[in-house]
Structure 1
Amino acid sequence: MVPTPVRSRAPLTKLARQAFAWHRPLMLCAGVLAVFVLVSTVGLLVDDRFVGGTPVWMKPLKFGISFLLYAVTLAWLASVCRRGRRFAWWVGTVLAAGVAVEFAVITFQAARGVASHFNVATPFDARLYSIMGQTAMVLAVANLLFLVPLMFNRFADSATRWSARLGLLVAFGGMFEASLMTRPRDEQVAALKSGVGTLSGAHSVGVADGGPGLPGVGWSTGGGDLRIGHFVGLHAMQVLPLVAVLLGMLATRYAVLRSERIRLGLTLVASAGYTGLGVLLTWQAMRGQPLLRPDGLTLAALGALVGAVALAAALILAGGRRRRSALQPALS
């Protein structure tokens, strides 16, 4: 009897090794983040402390997952850069270091049972918050610099290339939007001047931080929340490439999508619509309006955005069908 060969190296293991080679510092960072996502999950189960009305380990868990996706996405982008490869490697390394610093402060403060963001209760807390702010600026600039090698590299199809480039650009906008949260509120300025202030900045508008929020994410249900637009902007790096991938998958079923030009056009429309959604959500939050209780003006703006995106997509598809129909006689 011939023994059945043992699959000692599973395809998943091989894929993991290949992914680790994309950009070692970023993938190492992602591995550490994955471990701390598990640690934070355990912390939620065994630690009953709360900070600002939220379980103390919720913030490290949310940021750990978000940073993990961010690091893996950047590592993949670094791997497709043939031109400017060394530049992309260094920018990616700076981003990995920045993510590590941000997450280390968040986790350290959570372990202490105190807030990481907006916390100026003591000189030590204020210094850590300052470090986070400076690191965030470095991350934003480095994120934008990553666009340079991406613009000079041809990888995959045009829809995927532009979805990745635009994803980085929209993510930069999401990072910039976070600066709206760092501005101290009037009452905080007064408290800080009187020497009793402990906070400088907030993510809620119209209500105090720490109030009722949506399950899991904690976004305010009583007022506006600037974290929503920030979240949408940051994850454009994952959402927009997924749109391009989905269009490519649908091309096997729908003939009109087999045109790379059509897929590119739809990807650009989706990118514009996604950007508009992020701006709309930020505008809604700045008006002190909860996500799930939009007023008529917000609904009208959302309707106009959805209508514009749907119309643009329909025009692109219609044009593609007309061109395909015109080519049929020549092909037959």
Structure 2
Amino acid sequence: MEFGGKTGETTGGRLHRPLLVLAGAMAVLLVVSALGLLFDHRTLVNAPLWAKPFKFTVSIGLYALTLAWLLGLLTRFRRTGWWLGTVFAVGISTDLALLVWQILIRDRPLHFNVETPGDVLIDNVLATGAFTAWAATAAVVVLLLFQKLPDRALASALRWGTGFAVVGMGLALMMFSPTPPQEALLDAGVHPPMVGGHTVGLPDGGPGLPLLGWSTVGGDLRIPHFVGIHAIQALPLLALALAALARRYPVLSSDLVRRRLVWTGAVGYAGLLALVTWQALRGQSIVRPDFWTLSAAAGLIAIVAAGAALSLRSPRVHALTEF
């Protein structure tokens, strides 16, 4: 990464090299994990041993590429952005190295495992890496607030998407609280081998969706975490799709209309994140929604549809304040 200019900021238009290296490493590990799923039939906590490495490489690879692109858009505080991206890459790389060591080499659970002093150390280092990545992403959100991008719809999508990603990372903290049975053991002075879990209302390791592993019999806190962190891709993709469709549909040629639609998408995404969080905390499986979940989903769809219809009205109205 080059530095230049009187302020010492990085030159514009360059993708973040450490994040690109991280994405490349994830591509290699993805291929290895796919082969592991095909030819290695070992399991860990009733799931394929290679399932977690496969999921993490896909998620982190996409996230690293997206963050590298976002940092390349910075017109101010570029050096700060470069260091934040590097901090993110180091924190997540540390967690991936621990994943390989703990799961693929030691054949032991990665998360929530406090059975031995070594497991506790790994769990603490893992949490440090995750918090470091979370803090770096939160700081990128702040930097994006001070950027002037030519496409205001895309600017809104970037800010909302990155903000929701920070919320999604924060939601992961709920998984690390002791479950009621674990709390009872701790209160009785017994040291449980696992503290925390993905599943609400049931122990981890029950029936789950293929590959994803999300519980089909109870609530699963991985779902709101997943939905939240990938807003960083979903909302900018919405803005880019609207810009592409503007060539065919003249109404979308208005920056104001596209920005309204992005705001509508952000409201819908916030509602979806709240809905899946509420569903998980009630111990309800994503594949077995009850009447109240379906009613809330229907209401959310209606709100988004109404918002989209209003957004497509004539753009000759007063400009919205920029987010």
Percent sequence identity over matched residues?
45
Runs of 4+ residues deviating >3 angstroms: 190-196
Please list the CA deviations of residues 69-91 of structure 1 after superposition, one character each: whole Å capped at 9, or x if unmatched. 11111111111112100000010
Matches of 2:80 and 2:191, distance apart in 1: 47
Distance in 1 between residues matched to 2:124 and 2:171, nearest whole Å: 17
Superposed, 1:167-206 pairs within 5 Å as 167-192=161-186, 194-195=189-190, 197-206=192-201
Secondary structure of the structure 2 residue equivalent to 1:177: helix
- The one-letter code sitting in structure 1 at the alignment partner of 2:137 is N
Equivalent in the alignment of 2:264: 269
**What SS does the corresponding residue of 1:146 show, helix, strand or coil?**
helix
Match of 1:124 in 2: 118
| Letter paired with 1:98 | G
The aligned counterpart of 2:28 is 35
In structure 1, what is the equivalent of residue 45 of structure 2? 52
- Bigger proportion of residues as helix: 1
Residue 196 of structure 1: how far off its partner (Å): 5.0
Q: Compute the TM-score of the two structures, normalised by the length of structure 2.
A: 0.90
The question of 1:228 aligning with 2:236 is answered no
The secondary structure found in structure 2 opposite 1:318 is: coil
1:149 aligns with 2:143: yes
| 1:298 alignment partner in structure 2 | 293
SS in 1 for 2:265: helix
Are 2:45 and 2:109, in contact at CA under 8 Å, matched by a contact in 1? yes
- Alpha-carbon distance in 1 for matches of 2:266, 2:100: 33
Q: Name 1:288's counterpart in structure 2.
A: 283
Q: CA offsets, 1:144-174, max 9 Å, x none? A: 1012322222234111111111111000000
Query: Match of 1:108?
Result: 101
Aligned length: 303
State the partner residue of 1:81.
74
Of 11, 26, 30, the match for 2:19? 26
* 1:114 CA drift (Å): 0.9
Distance 1:296 1:212 in 2: 23
Task: Give the conservation status (yes or no) of the 8 Å contact 1:50–1:113.
Answer: no
CA RMSD of aligned residues (A): 1.5
User: Equivalent residue for 1:330?
Assistant: none
Verify the 8 A CA contact 1:213 1:219 in the aligned structure 2.
yes
- Pick the structure with greater CA Rg: 1
Deviation at 1:41, TM superposition (A): 1.4
Distance 2:126 2:159 in 1: 26
Note the residue ranges of structure 1 that are not aligned, 5 or more in a row.
Answer: 1-19, 325-332
> What are structure 2's unaligned runs of at least 5 residues?
1-12, 318-323
CA distance in 2, matches of 1:21, 1:210: 43
**2:271, 2:195 → 1: CA distance?**
29
